[in-house]
Amino acid sequence: MIAAIKAPLIDWSALAPFTSLTVGAVVVLIAGLVGSARLRSWLVPGLALVTLAVTAVELLSRWNHPKVIVSEALRVDNLTVTLGLLCVGAAAFAVILSLRSDTEEGVGRGEYHSLLLFTTIGMLILIAANDLVTIFVGLELLSIPLYVLCATELRREHSLEAGLKYLIVGSVGSATLLYGLALIYGATGSTSLPKIGVAISDTGALTDPLLLAGMALAIAGLSFKASAAPFHQWTPDVYEGAPTPVTTFMATATKAAALGILLRILVGPLLPAVDDWAPVIAVIATLSIVVGNFGALGQDSLKRMLAWSSVAQVGYLLAGLVVATSLGIGALVFYLVVYAVMTLAAFAVVIENERTSDDGERLSGFAGLGRRRPWLAGAMTVSMLSLAGLPPTGGFIGKLAIINADASGGWMWLAIVLVLGSLVSLGYYLRVIATMWMTEGSAEKTPVVKQAREIVAVALLAAAVTIAAGVLPSWPLERAQDVGQTVISSR
């Protein structure tokens, strides 16, 4: 006789984004075993895109339906939906951008795409994490496939090294975070974020050195992943060494995931300790802005320049986090999305230029691009103007929102730092624009490589969205503030 057991209640619909991604990742891995190379070359990316599309739809359906699932391990709320969509979108564009790259044929199309999907699951779990254990598992699930992906550009001498370097630095970050989480658990006696929040506000444990040390280590650990200074040293090397589509994915999605969970921890259970962590974040933001902007000056490799610039951009984002109000978080989320879109445009152009020009990834490879391919150069121009924060782009509105939040929250000096940082950043962003439009040069490959329509389309789409976010920012900004509101009210 078989005894009936009481099965745990599982909300399948809320869990759907996670399950569908997992199933998709496995299916894609198996599809990679199909014998015919031609079949494989469209079947595998196709399946990956279908998986991501399904996940995106499932995520969208959870908008405004906050729910805590899997015995309080995951929280599917508006923050999860927004940043989850960002990561899923970034993964989809990474798939599209690597359609024509020959690298993944060497490592196996199935494995490449499967790893990409697994990383995306890790991001989703990390963003949705409602428990210290989930945070760690999500972070590692995000990181480990990414280490491998970084090393897949077998043609490039440095790719393997980049992978190993990323693994070492990333693991240091993970270990630091883990130790911080352990200390937080030690101080509060629970691994669940809401219970930690309750414990902190109940016992007034704010002066507990254990908690403060844990908080500092956790912030440091996540700063590694978000590549905020002074934990950024790996960024230029890894960005340069990794295959460019993977770099694109890292620059957009990994940052979003790391900042998302930082947001969830700091503005969630640790909000009572805001006076303790806000100065720390402000210092990290300042350092990132200074180090990133000065590091990017004079870089000749576009990928390295964008890596340094991404360090500075994280600084701008953290400047929004410092103000733990819905205004600040709204600005952060809005800018995060805009940042992802404009970075996508820039990297798409770099990928296309790498394919078609000799010196594609170097600045010199961009000489005369405005004459050769005005649309591509136009997309890059929009992206650079937006990253620099000039109107009429989303970057301008995003910076405006962050400055507004800082000024309202009494962090005026941070707003000034942000503004001065933007001024320095013109030094390298304008250099790219000047090289494309104002210098002669023909660096086309011989024989001429056929242009990749889908990559140009991605670049133009991203550039158009960047402009749209600058011209009609009301709707996305309001949604971003909704997200901020849910994060604050969820505690």
Partner 1 sequence: MNIGWYLAVSTIIFAIGAAGVLTKRNALVILLCLELMLNAANLALVAFSRMWGNGDGQIFAIIVMVVAACEVTVGLGLIVAIHRRGLVVDADELSELRG
Partner 2 sequence: MELTLLLLLPLATGLLGAVLGNRLVKPLAVLGGLGTLGLAVGLALNYDTALGGSQFTVDKLWVKPLGIHWALTIDGLNLALVVLTAFVYASVVVACALREQENPRLFYFHLGLGASAVLGAFLAQDLILFVLFFDLMLVPFYFLVGQWGTGDRVGATTKMVIYTLAGSLLMLAAAVATGALTASHHGQHVDFLISNLQRLPLGKGTQQWVFLCFAAAFLVKMPAVPLHGWLKDAYKSMPLPVLALFSGVLSKVAAYGFLKLALPLFPDAAASFQDLLLGIGVLSIVYGSALAFTTNDARLVVGYSSIAQLGFILIGIFSLTSDGAQGALLQMVNHGIVTVALVLIVGVLASRAKGSEDLGSMGGIAMGAPVLAVVFLIAAFANLAMPASANFVGEFLILKGVFDSVTVVAVIACLGVAMAAVYMLRAYIRAMHGPDTNGVEQRDLSLREALPILPAIALILALALSPQPLLKRSEGPATAAVIPAAKAANIDPIQTATAAQGKR
Instruction: Return the residues of window 368-427 that contact partner 2 according to CB under 8 A.
Output: 370, 374, 385, 389-392, 396-397, 400-401, 403-404, 407-408, 412, 415-416, 418-420, 422-423, 426-427
Phi, psi at 447, each rounded to 5°:
-70, 155
Phi, psi at 373, each rounded to 5°:
-140, 85
How do beta strands 74-76 and 67-69 pair?
antiparallel
User: Closest CB to partner 2 among 21 and 418?
Assistant: 418
In this chain, which stretch among 182-190, 345-353, 380-388, 432-440 interacts with partner 1, using CB under 8 A?
182-190
Pick one of 241, 268, 292, 360: the residue that binds partner 1 (CB under 8 A): 241
**Per-residue DSSP letters for 274-325?**
HHHHHHHHHHHHHHHHHHHHHHHTT--BHHHHHHHHHHHHHHHHHHHHHS-S
Is 336 among the residues that bind partner 2 (CB under 8 A)?
no
Is 300 among the residues that bind partner 2 (CB under 8 A)?
no
Is 285 among the residues that bind partner 1 (CB under 8 A)?
no
Residue 160 binds which entry of partner 1, partner 2, none, with Cβ cut-offs from 5 to 8 Å by kind? partner 1
Pick one of 46, 179, 198, 359: the residue that binds partner 1 (CB under 8 A): 179
Residue 34 binds which entry of partner 1, partner 2, none, with Cβ cut-offs from 5 to 8 Å by kind? none
Our measurement of the distance from residue 197's CA atom to the centroid of its chain's CA atoms, rounded to an integer in Å, reads: 26
Selection from 459, 286, 440, 289 nearest residue 381 by Cα: 459
**3-class SS of residue 154:** coil
| Amino acid (one-letter) located at 51 | T
User: Closest CB to partner 1 among 93 and 136?
Assistant: 136
Is 312 among the residues that bind partner 2 (CB under 8 A)?
no
Q: How many residues bind to partner 2 according to rule CB under 8 A? A: 38
- Distance in angstroms (rounded) separating the CA atoms of residues 350 and 369: 11
| Amino acid (one-letter) located at 130 | N
Minimum CB distance to partner 2, residue 491 (Å):
22
User: Closest CB to partner 2 among 341 and 397?
Assistant: 397
| Residue 380: how many other CB atoms lie within 10 Å | 29
Instruction: Return the residues of window 90-119 that contact partner 2 according to CB under 8 A.
Output: none
Is 158 among the residues that bind partner 1 (CB under 8 A)?
yes
Contacts (Cβ under 8 Å, ≥6 apart) of 384 = 346, 429, 430, 432, 433
Instruction: Return the residues of window 424-483 that contact partner 2 according to CB under 8 A.
Output: 426-427, 430, 433-434, 437-439, 473-474, 477-478, 480-481
Pick one of 234, 335, 396, 411: the residue that binds partner 1 (CB under 8 A): 234
Residue 473 binds which entry of partner 1, partner 2, none, with Cβ cut-offs from 5 to 8 Å by kind? partner 2
Q: Is 118 left (phi over 0), alpha (psi -120 to 50) or beta?
A: alpha
Is 297 among the residues that bind partner 2 (CB under 8 A)?
no
Our measurement of the distance from residue 49's CA atom to the centroid of its chain's CA atoms, rounded to an integer in Å, reads: 19
Q: Is 77 in contact with 64 (CB distance < 8 Å)? A: no
**Per-residue DSSP letters for 208-228?**
-HHHHHHHHHHHHHHHHHHT-
Minimum CB distance to partner 2, residue 206 (Å):
26
The residues of the shown chain that bind partner 2, judged by CB under 8 A, are 330, 370, 374, 385, 389-392, 396-397, 400-401, 403-404, 407-408, 412, 415-416, 418-420, 422-423, 426-427, 430, 433-434, 437-439, 473-474, 477-478, 480-481
